[in-house]
A and B are shown apart, each in its own frame.
Chain A
Amino acid sequence: MLAINANLARCHVCGKVSHLPSEGAFACPRCHTPLHFRTPYSVSRSWAYTLTAAICFVPANLYPIMNVQSIDKSFTSTIMSGVIDLAQNDMLPIAIVVFVASIAVPLFKLIGIIVLLTIVQRGKPVKRQQAIRMYRFIDFIGRWSMLDIFVISILVSLVSFGQIASIEANIGATAFGAVVILTLLAAESFDPRLIWDLQDTEDDRTEL
């Protein structure tokens, strides 16, 4: 039996299960957070964050994230050119790590959340185990995109030799930071219980 069918709701802050006659009627008796059966406006909020992130994804990849200046050369570096640079300098493993964290993960997250949101909105039967696995994966990998942001901050403060060599942040970094935060918020707004509220394509014998 589901908690919602018994008019019970688990508080998302303190975890207490309380009786809730109707949606949003009470606050949790233990920690006074408003109680809900499902995260309110989960789908719309998640869509809003995802679309904003998708828009920021464009400048994040097109604009440079760093300006590198040294005696003999000076150039700007985008996320992708940083990866190519690493790969050409025989540092393939690190290049792969940076590529996965900075390009593959944000892109996969955006697509994944859009797929999950579409699944929930269509309301047709799905393979729930598969969908929930995707949700958990998205939830788990999200924070690793912060990698490039941290790298920029380390490089900027470490390589500051004035005329000889210096690295400075550029506008792409802000856009990329926005993508990371917005996809994190999108995943956090998405309520996984919505997946389990759908019918399963296969007859689910663990259904209680």
Chain B
Amino acid sequence: MKQDEGDTITACLECDLLLARPAPSKSREARCPRCGSRDSASRYFTSQTSLAVSLAALIVAIPAHLYPQMEFTLLGRPTTYTLTEGALALIDKGFLWVGGLILLSTVVAPLLLLVCIALISLLWSMQQAWAFTARLLKLFHYITSWAMLDVYLLSVIVSVVKLLDMGKLELSTGFFCFVAMLVLTTAATLLFNSEACWNAIEKHQHAGD
């Protein structure tokens, strides 16, 4: 499915300048001539690539969530850590808000984001269920800034350094799956163009009139 051109005008999100809508480009995002901000809506979007990458991310997400990421041994006694455990441990000990926040930004938001991208791309290629796609796109819009897997990766590194002198620490399967998931999630987000999807929905609405 080729990307639809949509309307002929757009406005810069950062400075409100009226612009001719840039043609989708594979190489670069268009920049506003006045303030220099990039417009992600000019990204080249194909549903197949988007679907492939988001599905791949969802597949590695399974071992990333189920297998332990680290094993920490102190005086011969090992403990392991899986992605969701930290948040759940905090909630368990009464830190409901902090635990919930961590759960949202490392588990719920990234997974919802991937499911949204995969489903939207799938429905786009099937040219079906436009109303549902619109709902998914709205959910995507509100959830997208809450996924913080990249920050989480850095915090794993910091924790490893903090614990190194206390006991024996080993990174295991879950961590490497998590890194793969992070790379694929970033790729899926960068390849996705929600405005192209809105254009397709609108075109369909008009066709129905």
Is B5 interfacial (CB-CB < 8 Å)? no
Q: How far, in angstroms, from A178 to B100 measured CA to CA in the complex?
A: 12
**In chain A between 25 and 63, which residues have their CB closer than 8 angstroms to a CB of chain B?**
30-31, 33, 37
Considering only residues 5-30 of chain A, those with a C-beta below 8 Å from chain B are 6, 8-10, 12-17, 30
Of B93, B141, B162, which contacts A86 at CB under 8 A? B162
Query: Mind listing 18 A-B residue pairs with CB under 8 Å?
Result: A6-B18, A10-B10, A10-B11, A10-B13, A14-B198, A31-B134, A89-B165, A94-B161, A143-B148, A144-B154, A150-B86, A154-B81, A156-B89, A157-B81, A158-B159, A158-B163, A164-B77, A207-B34
What is the interface of chain A mostly: helix, strand, loop, or mixed? helix
- Known pairs A16-B198, A94-B157, A161-B79; list 8 more (Cβ under 8 Å): A2-B15, A2-B17, A86-B161, A146-B155, A154-B86, A164-B74, A173-B98, A197-B16
The segment out of B101-109, B112-120, B121-129 that lies at the interface is B101-109
Contacts of B98 in A (CB 8 A): 149, 152-153, 169, 173-174, 177
- Decide if B97 is an interface residue (CB 8 Å cutoff): yes
A116 within 8 A of B: no
Q: Which residues of B contact A169 (CB under 8 A)?
A: 90, 93, 95, 98
Interface residue ranges, B against A (CB under 8 Å): 7, 9-11, 13-18, 33-37, 41, 70, 72, 74-75, 77, 79, 81, 85-90, 93, 95, 97-99, 101-102, 105-106, 134, 137-138, 141, 145, 148, 151-152, 154-159, 161-163, 165-166, 194-195, 198, 201-202, 205
Shortest CB distance A88–B (Å): 12
**Is the beta-carbon distance between A157 and B85 smaller than 8 angstroms?**
yes
B201 and A158 within 8 A (CB): no
Which residues of B sit under 8 angstroms from A94, Cβ to Cβ?
Answer: 157-158, 161-162
- Bin chain A's interface residue count: 35 or more
Whether A17 touches B10, Cβ cut-off 8 Å, given contacts A30-B198, A31-B198, A196-B35, is: yes
Q: Is the CB of B151 within 8 A of A146?
A: yes
Residues on the B chain within 8 Å of A129, using CB: 35-36
CB distance B35 to A17 under 8 Å? Answer: no
Closest residue on chain B to residue A150 by CB atoms: B155
Question: How far is A192 from B13 in the complex, measured between Cα atoms in Å?
Answer: 8
Chain A nearest CB from B11 CB (Å) reads 4
Tell me the nearest residue of chain B to A10, going by C-beta. Answer: B11
- The answer to whether A154 touches B15, judged by C-beta atoms less than 8 angstroms apart, is no
Q: Smallest Cβ distance from A108 to chain B, in angstroms?
A: 17
- Residues in A neighbouring B158, C-beta threshold 8 A: 94, 97-98, 147, 151
Residue from the set A98, A132, A150, A188 with the largest chain B CB neighbour count within 10 Å: A150
- Give the complex CA separation of A116 and B163 in angstroms: 40
